[in-house]
């Protein structure tokens, strides 16, 4: 079985010339393009009268992290944090959230 690099596969299969550094450059460009809509989603998740909030953990590279989600009827926001603490809930819902928070606890 031959060892093919991602670069070779992208060239052969998709006809996309990928070179060293291309993926990180594309990731950075994507981050910049979606920054506005992401911030709008993060802000709007703090406004409704009801928000659902949950987290789940996993280990990667010997470290434990938590995948958090805040869900309203209009928007869903995901974040990954190294904490399971209330500070992340406040980050998602805002310091002044006065609505109802639905959780599994």
pLDDT digits (tens, 9 = 90+) for 19-34: 767 778 888 999 999 9
Residue spans of the domains in the chain: they are 1-42, 45-105
What's the rounded Cα separation, in Å, for the pair 89 and 83?
10
What's the rounded Cα separation, in Å, for the pair 88 and 75?
18
CATH number of this structure's domain 45-105:
3.30.160
Whether 16 has a pLDDT exceeding 90, the answer reads no
| Verdict on whether the full-model pTM lies above 0.85 | no
The string of pLDDT tens digits covering residues 32-89 is: 999 999 999 999 999 999 999 999 998 878 889 999 999 999 999 999 999 999 999 9
C-alpha dist (Å) from residue 5 to 11, 15, 21, 66: 10, 14, 14, 31
Q: Considering only 14-23, 52-61, 85-94, 96-105, which range has the smallest mean pLDDT?
A: 14-23
Q: What's residue 51's pLDDT?
A: 96
């Amino acid at each position: 079985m031959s060892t093919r690099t991602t670069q070779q596969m992208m060239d052969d299969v998709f006809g996309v010339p990928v070179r060293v550094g291309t993926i990180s450059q594309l990731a950075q460009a994507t981050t910049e393009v979606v920054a506005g809509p992401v911030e709008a989603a993060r802000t709007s998740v703090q406004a409704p009268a009801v928000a659902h909030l949950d987290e789940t953990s996993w280990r990667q590279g010997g470290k434990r992290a938590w995948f958090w989600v805040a869900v309203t009827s209009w928007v869903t926001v995901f974040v990954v944090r190294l904490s399971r603490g209330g500070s992340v809930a406040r980050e998602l819902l805002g310091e002044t959230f006065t609505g109802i928070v639905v959780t599994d606890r």
